Chains A and B, each alone.
Chain A
Amino acid sequence: MISSSKWIGPAVLAGMCLLPLPLGIYPQHVLIVSLFYVMMAASWNLLAGYTGQVSFGHAAMAGIGAYTSGILAAKAGVNPWVGVAAGTLLAALLGLGLGALCLKMGGIYLSLTTLAFSQILHIIIVNEYEVTRGTMGLQVPGLTAEYSKLTYYYILLAATVLVLFILYRMIHSNLGLSFRAVQNDETAARAVGVRVLHLRVLAFTVASAMAGFAGGLYGHYLLLITPEIPSLDLQFYVLAMTVIGGMGSFVGPIVGAFAINILAEKIRDYGEYHVLVFGLIALVVARFAPEGLTGVWRSLGRRRTP
């Protein structure tokens, strides 16, 4: 088991590298969007899954990344890669601030505060038409001189691997032990010396930076940045992906992001109702399989090999 699990990562990565080659433009697009969602869900999981901070401001952080980089590129001619770095940094700083603001809050108060942050940002973007082009959307240059889906796929794949690698290292370090202790029981974690407040702010900063990074790249892929990125719709997508995939597990959000995004494309014909469908699926999963798809998979494995 141990020897086989060692090969899972590289094997999946090799598979992911080959996957888009035989596919057409449209499925390649779906995969690229899926990779964006993997970064979003995996980093949100660090907040909600590992430190119990159910933030509704994660899509807003992606918006910060996208608009920072987009505005710099479109208005000041800044290189998009530099812009993405700037967006990542700004999202990290805002994450630090938001995390510090929410420090002593828990549960619903933290959720409401981050929700307010997200809505404020949305209103600013929609109303500052001169700078952001509002709901019309801001046209931005691409990351590369020539636009190719395949290039974007590999850029997003590399970014996703980087994000997942950092998250993996964090979760499997001494820090990760403390994260999991907080996730299990905050009171007991404090009692054994875990600096819970430090951890929460750190998680907020890192997760926000990752969302900003993902959002920045995503914006330059779409070439048109709209308030759809920092929207509650996108936020709830990320939430549903994480919950359905398995909150608090490393693989859960990855599986959830691919499953939900691909499913979303399939049932797109039903219009806005597909959001309703995901809401219902998330509810059912939260009620009957709180550990998500990966939890179901694990318990099936346990039954097979007792």
Chain B
Amino acid sequence: MLLEGRKISKRFGGVQALSEVDFHVEAGSITALIGPNGAGKTTLFNIVAGAIKPSSGQTVFEGREITGLPADEICRRGIARTFQIVRPFATMTCLENVLVAAVNRHPRRPRAALEPGARDLLAQVGLADLAGQEARHLNVVQKKLLELARALATEPRLLLLDEVLGGLNTQEILQAVEQIRRLRDRAGITILWIEHVMGAIMQAADRVIVLDQGRVLTAAPPREVVSDPRVIRAYLGE
């Protein structure tokens, strides 16, 4: 078990965003996190990544507790993320965006030694030609790919993907799913993935955690989840 959440609760003022969420992610798996809008998916992500602190509960990564650690420390422990609404470093070039992550992973190595690796990552996501381009000039899809390359440059063992397929067309979705699979198969990166595109999840995920109104509804392989009446009810109502 790579990541485990124990009774995680989060309250924002009067809103109970998460209540006593127990979940886990197996090493080497692609685990999807789904649920209707407002179910608490991104809140859970933010807690795992250290962007916010839970009101109570624990997160455990590789057997060590990481609850409440700052985001940069959690990144150094081996968890990287992308953002639902893209956040590239706008006035920096694509190459520099990736290099920021690389130099913070390897603070003692000179930039020149890290540059080939960074260019390689850009090539992997298909942005090799845009290496010298400032990130603000990219379109949304390219920005998402850049965020993926940047996250990979931190050399994570667990990658948190937050709706990376939004805005992609069918062809691009197929390519992206293939790419995410390759990350797991070749680089051995475990993936926890929030996604609304059900087809992609059916295709790629080993296991699906369903959140609804801040609680875990079920956690099972995708085939079982889509036929679960509770899940259908959560999405479509009574």
Enumerate chain A interface residues (CB-CB to B < 8 A). 173-174, 177-178, 180-181, 183-185, 187-197
Contacts and interface: CB of A to CB of B under 8 A. Distances in A.
Given A174-B111, A187-B51, A194 B100 contact: yes
B237 to A, nearest CB: 34
Contacts of B100: 177-178, 180-181, 189, 192, 194
Interface stretch (B120-128, B147-155, B167-175, B188-196): B147-155
Given A185-B87, A187-B87, A188-B87, A194 B92 contact: no
27 contacts: A173-B111, A174-B111, A177-B96, A178-B100, A178-B104, A180-B89, A180-B91, A180-B92, A180-B100, A181-B89, A183-B91, A185-B88, A185-B90, A187-B51, A189-B72, A189-B100, A190-B50, A190-B70, A191-B51, A191-B71, A191-B72, A191-B81, A192-B75, A192-B100, A192-B101, A192-B151, A193-B75
Most A-side CB within 10 Å, residue of B90, B91, B101, B110: B101
Nearest to A184: B89
Interface residues of B, number: 31
Interface string B82-109: 0100011111100010011101110100
Given A177-B111, A178-B103, A194-B100, A188 B72 contact: no
Nearest to A185: B87
A193 B92 contact: no
A214 B71 CA distance: 36
A190 B92 CA distance: 16
A246 to B, nearest CB: 12
Highest count of chain A CB atoms <10 Å: which of B70, B71, B76? B71
Contacts of B101: 192-193
Contacts, number: 79
A191 B89 contact: no
Nearest to B92: A180
A19 B139 CA distance: 48
A192 B96 contact: no
B71 A190 contact: yes
B225 interface: no
B91 A184 contact: yes
B80 interface: yes
B82 to A, nearest CB: 9
Nearest to A248: B91
B83 A194 contact: no
Contacts of A189: 72, 89, 100
A184 B153 contact: no
B189 to A, nearest CB: 15
Contacts of A191: 49, 51, 71-72, 75, 80-81, 83, 151
Contacts of B103: 174, 177-178
Contacts of A194: 72, 100, 104
A193 B91 contact: no
B75 A190 contact: yes
Interface in B154-194: 154
Given A193-B76, A193-B104, A193-B154, A188 B91 contact: no
B90 A184 contact: yes
Contact of B80 (A173, A177, A184, A192): A192
Given A193-B76, A193-B101, 10 more contacts: A177-B92, A180-B89, A183-B91, A184-B89, A184-B91, A188-B89, A190-B75, A192-B100, A192-B101, A194-B100
Nearest to A192: B101
6 closest Cβ pairs, A-B complex: A193-B104, A193-B75, A190-B71, A184-B89, A192-B101, A188-B87
A192 B153 contact: yes
Nearest to A181: B100
B112 to A, nearest CB: 11
Interface string B137-152: 0000000000000110
A184 B151 CA distance: 16
A180 B89 CA distance: 8
A177 B90 contact: no
A119 B92 CA distance: 37
A107 to B, nearest CB: 18
Output the residue of A177, A187, A192 with the most chain B CB within 10 A. Answer: A192
B79 to A, nearest CB: 9
A197 B71 CA distance: 11
Given A178-B103, A187-B51, A193 B72 contact: yes
Nearest to B150: A192
Contact of B105 (A177, A184, A193): A193
A183 B91 CA distance: 9
Contacts of B104: 178, 192-195
Given A177-B99, A177-B111, A188 B88 contact: yes
Contacts of A185: 87-90
A177 B154 CA distance: 15
